[in-house]
A and B are shown apart, each in its own frame.
Chain A
Amino acid sequence: KAGVTQTPRYLIKTRGQQVTLSCSPISGHRSVSWYQQTPGQGLQFLFEYFSETQRNKGNFPGRFSGRQFSNSRSEMNVSTLELGDSALYLCASNDGRGYETQYFGPGTRLLVL
């Protein structure tokens, strides 16, 4: 099976812009979670989607949003970008039915100038 894929791999944006990142889970996986990784804060949970519904949300401002499509692919959107949003954004998938291994994608590296 193909692994978790994320596009694009790299992005450069300027403050105030918005950005959309995409994640395709492993085939058959219905849960997609998003994490932000920064040198200072480490890995922090953003949100989790299962069957097109947000089941779980971390402590991030409303500028961070996401959605999931019927094929389980997920997108996350960040509006009104700030310098502090520069990070590696990782998504992970599993079948969502139990507390099983989460499989991570390679990440999207976002740089906000």
Chain B
Amino acid sequence: KQEVTQIPAALSVPEGENLVLNCSFTDSAIYNLQWFRQDPGKGLTSLLLIQSSQREQTSGRLNASLDKSSGRSTLYIAASQPGDSATYLCAVGEEQGGSEKLVFGKGTKLTVNP
């Protein structure tokens, strides 16, 4: 059974700092990995999708990497801003019943202090 772990569970940093969020998964038979952002009481916003054949994806100040063989992904946020404060969720996409389902980690709650 796939298990996704995110470390740390919470992180507080001063504005302007570069930071890394970690995600690990137990079964490397994944099709993709997605990073999401969730604001309190809200739905999920997709940040980056990495297909299993890719090593990394970049969008603006965000960079996500994937090492399928070791079961790890990182989300790098450059020059953090207070608006980046949210919970960041990692999810691996795996095949089940002929279609995809996402298995999520519990998230990292990020606070960026002005």
Query: A42-58 interface mask toward B, CB cutoff 8 Å, 1 = contact, 0 = none?
Result: 11110010100001111
A-B contact count (CB 8 A): 64
Asked if residues A42 and B106 are in contact (CB atoms below 8 Å), the reply is: yes
List, in ascending order, chain B residues with CB within 8 A of A90's CB.
43-44
Asked if residues A48 and B49 are in contact (CB atoms below 8 Å), the reply is: no
Asked if residues A104 and B46 are in contact (CB atoms below 8 Å), the reply is: yes
Query: A1-20 interface mask toward B, CB cutoff 8 Å, 1 = contact, 0 = none?
Result: 00010100000000000000
Question: Smallest Cβ distance from B98 to chain A, in angstroms?
Answer: 6
A29 in the interface (beta carbon within 8 A): no
The answer to whether residues A57 and B104 also contact, given A101-B46, A105-B43, A106-B42 and a CB cut-off of 8 A, is no
Which residues of B pack against A, CB within 8 Å? 31-32, 34, 36, 41-46, 49, 51, 89, 91, 93, 96-107
> In whole angstroms, how far apart are the Cα atoms of A103 and B91 in the complex?
13
The answer to whether residues A102 and B102 also contact, given A42-B107, A43-B89, A107-B43 and a CB cut-off of 8 A, is yes
The answer to whether residues A55 and B34 also contact, given A101-B49, A106-B43 and a CB cut-off of 8 A, is no
Q: How large is the interface on A (under 10, 10 to 19, 20 to 34, 35 or more residues)?
A: 20 to 34
Asked if residues B89 and A58 are in contact (CB atoms below 8 Å), the reply is: no
Which B residue sits closest to A42, measured CB to CB?
Answer: B106
Asked if residues B99 and A56 are in contact (CB atoms below 8 Å), the reply is: yes
Question: Smallest Cβ distance from B35 to chain A, in angstroms?
Answer: 11
List, in ascending order, chain A residues with CB within 8 A of B44's CB.
90, 92, 104
Asked if residues A103 and B102 are in contact (CB atoms below 8 Å), the reply is: no
